[in-house]
Amino acid sequence: MKKIRSSLLLIVAFVLIDEMVTAQEFTIAAAADLQSAMQEISSRFEQKTSTHIKVIYGSSGNFAQQIQNGAPFDMFFSANLDYPKQLEASGLSEPDSFYQYARGKIVVWVPIDSPVDVHSGLQSLLAPSVKKIAIANPQHAPYGKAAVSAMQAEGLYDKVKDKLVLGENISQTASFVVSGSADVGIVALSLALSPNMKDQGRYTEIPSTDYPPIEQACVILRSSKNKAVARAFLDFVKTDAIKDLLRKYGFEVTGSTQSK
């Protein structure tokens, strides 16, 4: 009987430990432009708190839809303001958790050995050697919407629309150009400055006057089971050290808590 009791206690102990580990896992849905920056942010937070953070990257529109359908994320970092505002209006985010953490930028990017001269900015899309142009899908990716707006502003969209290759998110869009599946891409500056891309290509920033501001915001989700950790992480993101880190990846940092 003692052996059976000991075995049962051991099983219960393992179950409790497993539940504690599961409860401590903190899941973030993050826009793909944050991939390198968020890796550093989450790593620093883990070192300070011993909290295990799981970050899933993708398009903001897809994440917003998943959250509305009950996806079990703790926080959502969007590449625009609209999706967090929609969640806020629907009562799916925690009150007073809306935080406008950055403003993104877009660039024209080509591989280092490309014959395309990107110094002319979007006009380089008209180069004879450009057969395929990668942008994020404007239906649900804010960076894709910005790319279309910029091409329209310079009167280029109708001339190049048949050459467009759509990525599911801005990270996939960048991978199309890096892999050679597209000749040129309109990608996030944060990705162009990332360790995976900064030495592999050349880029030119697209004037911010050519597209609506890519204002980015995050919220804590009401369904989160780790709200204390979420509040701590949000406070951490608001620190000067993290603002400087975001600037390193080409973001402008505004740090506004206003959702209106």
Domain ranges of the chain: 2-103+215-248, 104-210
Q: What pLDDT is recorded for position 11?
A: 37
pLDDT at 257: 56
Domain 104-210 maps to which CATH number in 3.40.50.150, 3.10.290.10, 3.40.190.10, 3.40.50.300? 3.40.190.10
Quick one: average pLDDT of 47-66? 94
> Helix (H, G, I), strand (E, B), or coil: what is residue 254?
coil
pTM for the full model? 0.85
CB 11 within 8 A of CB 17: no
pLDDT beyond 60 at 8: no
pLDDT tens for residues 202-248? 999 999 999 999 999 999 999 999 999 999 999 999 999 999 999 99
Is CATH 3.40.190.10 the right assignment for the domain spanning 2-103+215-248?
yes
Give me the pLDDT at residue 10, please: 34
Residue that the structure tokens 């708190």 belong to: 49
Report residue 128's pLDDT band, with 50, 70 and 90 as the boundaries.
very high
Are 255 and 238 spatial neighbours (Cβ–Cβ below 8 Å)? yes
Among the listed ranges 15-29, 89-103, 105-119, 150-164, which one has the minimum average pLDDT value? 15-29
Integer Cα distance of 90 and 172 in angstroms: 30
Whether 17 shows a pLDDT value over 80: the answer reads no
Q: Can you tell me whether residue 225 is helix, strand or coil?
A: coil
The reply to whether 104-210 shares the fold of 2-103+215-248 is yes
* Residue 257 or 156, more confident: 156
Mean pLDDT estimate for the chain: 90
